[in-house]
Amino acid sequence: MKNKDNLSLSLLDHHILVCIGDRTLYGREILLELNVGRPIQLAAGSVYPALDRGVEKGMLRWRWGDDDEASCGARRKYFTATEAGKQALEIWEKYRESLGIGEQK
């Protein structure tokens, strides 16, 4: 993480980190999962820049997929949450709980 100021999370950053969790997912997979049950669908033009910002903030890392993971000839870019991203998510969740707006089951 570049500095402590980068710890701030937008709502979309939060949703991306929750979606990825401990998994490794490619961009379109993240987009599709984020849109499940969402009344207003997110566009790729919102999610991909947010993924790039997550990498810049040190909350996400990415790797190119292997040749056997290619889709229609193009390699996929896979994202994973970093320890800094997981810590930021944990801080966010504690803050939400303190406000009484934690995740509803």
Q: Is residue 31 part of a domain?
A: yes
Find the CATH number of the domain harbouring 25: 1.10.10.10
Q: Give the chain's domain count.
A: 1
Q: Is residue 28 part of a domain?
A: yes
- pLDDT number for residue 84: 95
- The 8-class DSSP code of residue 3 comes to -
Q: Is residue 44 part of a domain?
A: yes
Q: Is residue 67 part of a domain?
A: yes
pLDDT digits (tens, 9 = 90+) for 6-29: 457 899 999 999 999 999 999 999
d(CA 40, CA 46): 12
Using CB atoms within 10 A of its CB, is residue 85 exposed (0-12), middle (13-18) or buried (19+)?
A: buried
In sequence order, which residues have a C-beta less than 8 Å from that of residue 8 and are 6 or more positions away? none
Torsional sign, CA 5, 24, 73, 64: positive
pLDDT digits (tens, 9 = 90+) for 47-102: 999 999 999 999 999 999 886 665 676 789 999 999 999 999 999 889 888 998 76
Q: Is residue 105 part of a domain?
A: no
Q: Is residue 104 part of a domain?
A: no
Which residue segment(s) compose the domain that 54 sits in? 4-99
